[in-house]
Amino acid sequence: MPSQKIRIKLKAYDYNLIDQSASKIVDTAKRTGAKVSGPIPLPTQKEIVTILRAPHKYKDSREQFEIKTHKRLIDILEATGKTTDALMRLDLPSGVDIEIKL
């Protein structure tokens, strides 16, 4: 049976949460005997929103807010059945979006 390659993409607004989740995934994969490449930090996406402070008269008075989306990429090479079972049972914090490709 050929070995599996699993690619995991993580997205979160808080970089502490995403780093904790990535370290949990890497530790779990290494414990089951798989080779791990990553976590690789991908470019942070920054979304800036500009709004008017006052609703009518003062158009020059504006406020800007930004939302940063942090991303990490983890490749698990030579994954076995134990690895996939352990990753499915892993409890990760809320606020982290996980995308898994086999």
Q: Among 6, 11, 9, which Cα is nearest to 85's?
A: 6
CA distance 77 to 27: 14
Helix H or strand E encompassing 73: strand 62-79
pTM over 0.75: yes
Look at strands 96-101 and 4-12 and give their pairing.
antiparallel
Tokens found for residue 62: 């504006």
Could you identify the residue written with the tokens 């990553």?
A: 38
Tokens found for residue 72: 């990490």
User: pLDDT for 2-23, tens place per residue?
Assistant: 567 889 999 999 999 999 999 9
User: pLDDT for 36-63, tens place per residue?
Assistant: 988 999 999 999 999 998 888 888 889 9
